[in-house]
Amino acid sequence: MTVSAPAPALTFTVDPWDPGYGQAFADEQDEQGAGLGQSTAELNLDLEMPSAQWQPLDPDPATVVPSTILFLDGVRRIDARIWVHGTGQQPVAGIAASLAAGLVVCDGAARVAEVAVERALFTAAGDAGDLVTRGGRYVARPAEGAGLDKLSLAMQQRLAFAEVQLAVAFRGEHQVGDDLLVVDGPLRGRTHLERTVGYIKTHHTSYLPAEQAAVAGALRPGQRTPAFTMGTSWERNSWYLQLPGTDGVPWSGVVRLECSADLDRKDVTRLADLTALMLPSFASAPHKDPRAPQNLVPIGGLERQLKHRLGDERLLYRALRAAAIGALSWRILRLPRLNGQAVVAGRGGGYQTADVQRGKVTAVNSTSITLKSSDGQGRPGLLLAAPGRAARRIVALR
């Protein structure tokens, strides 16, 4: 009798992120499960050291750490999809959205220093005006197209602008001088900000070749990869950093940081070392944050407050629906009606039914008038016009 050996036990690890958020290593696998989608970005891997000599780097302990670190983030929410009825023959799509940007200051204690909230109507309709509801005013903002991708892009660009304005205003008022600004998300459109890095916690694309990617996968907490330059639709310098609190799960706790491509190598190295020295202490814990450790504690707390500041989405949606019904009612009232009925308030209290007709006067006497509409209808009513004149409204109360 032949006894076959038992199959080896499956070896696996569990990603620490809540499944509702996807994975920190958000792969786009092919049928063979190859992992992250490969990037077509142009790379200069020799920025800090030759690519053949890449290894995990510990930050320079002599690096002077700033007294203040700032965390900048924003949240957005589509409150309703909108159809804008303008002067054109067809309505134009839009979105009514709420945006909030905030800044956390950590200088021995953490506090939310600034918050800005706005509501906007993003649409490609050139003649669109502000959308006024009992829940607030949605300021009309232009979009380059009516597709959801163009509308969402306009919304994201507006949020990025609000974030930049918030950071610039705070720095201008406080003049700290040696702070470090961490922007949650890519730095695109914000590379002009001084002493600033973008913080990317989810990896959709593998930018590094296999040999250098292996270095990123071998990082220990507090270590980083050498800095490199990458160019896609825009150029920046970047590096990977390992945060604490993970147990060997592939790429778990690894974040990517980026800074302006205009900085010289010395300044890039200093920023990279600053992030390796300062950010690990802000890593979140799994029992408090489902996206730990990448969702840094100040950013997670700020996101919760900003979402609260957006307001109740159900109330805002009802306010938008009510405003839309009001606008439609006014639009109907302005249509060229021929005849019909309306209930109006009576002079002595109560209500009366009014017959309404539009047409040309055909007969008139001292007490009444007869007119004929283009649909052939004719009826007597109150004397409101002379014979032969067009009458805009003929009302008979009964």
The domain of 296 spans 20-316
Residues 140 and 189 reside in one and the same domain: yes
End-to-end CA distance of the chain: 105
Residue 344 has a pLDDT of 59
Measured distance CA(220)–CA(237) in Å, rounded: 22
Q: Tokens 């309709």 sit at which residue?
A: 125
Residue 91 has a pLDDT of 86
- The series of mean pLDDT values per 10 residues for the chain, 398 residues long, is 50 44 47 52 94 97 94 96 83 93 95 96 90 91 94 96 96 88 94 95 87 93 96 93 83 93 96 97 91 93 96 92 70 58 59 68 71 66 44 40
**Total of domains in the chain:** 2
Residues 242 and 345 reside in one and the same domain: no
Q: Checking phi first, is residue 248 left (phi over 0); if not, alpha (psi -120 to 50) or beta? A: left
Residue 14 has a pLDDT of 41
Residue 377 has a pLDDT of 62
Residues 57 and 168 reside in one and the same domain: yes
Measured distance CA(241)–CA(169) in Å, rounded: 29
Per the domain annotation, does 5 fall within a domain?
no
Per the domain annotation, does 6 fall within a domain?
no
Per the domain annotation, does 228 fall within a domain?
yes
Residues 306 and 163 reside in one and the same domain: yes
Per the domain annotation, does 30 fall within a domain?
yes
Residues 375 and 291 reside in one and the same domain: no
Measured distance CA(222)–CA(284) in Å, rounded: 14
Per the domain annotation, does 12 fall within a domain?
no
Residue 315 has a pLDDT of 94
Contacts of 352-357 with CB under 8 Å at 24 or more apart are 352/397, 352/398, 353/397, 353/398, 354/395, 354/396, 354/397, 355/379, 355/381, 355/395, 355/396, 355/398, 356/393, 356/394, 356/395, 357/381, 357/394
Residues 45 and 126 reside in one and the same domain: yes
Residues 194 and 61 reside in one and the same domain: yes
Q: Which of 28, 115, 39, 105 is nearest to 67 (CA)?
A: 105
The alpha carbon dihedral of 40, 46, 49, 51 has a sign of positive
Would you give the DSSP letter of residue 191? T
pTM, two decimals, is 0.76
Residue 127 has a pLDDT of 86
Residue 149 has a pLDDT of 95
CATH number for the domain harbouring residue 291? 3.30.2170
Q: Tokens 């989405």 sit at which residue?
A: 313
Residues 59 and 137 reside in one and the same domain: yes
Residue 360 has a pLDDT of 75
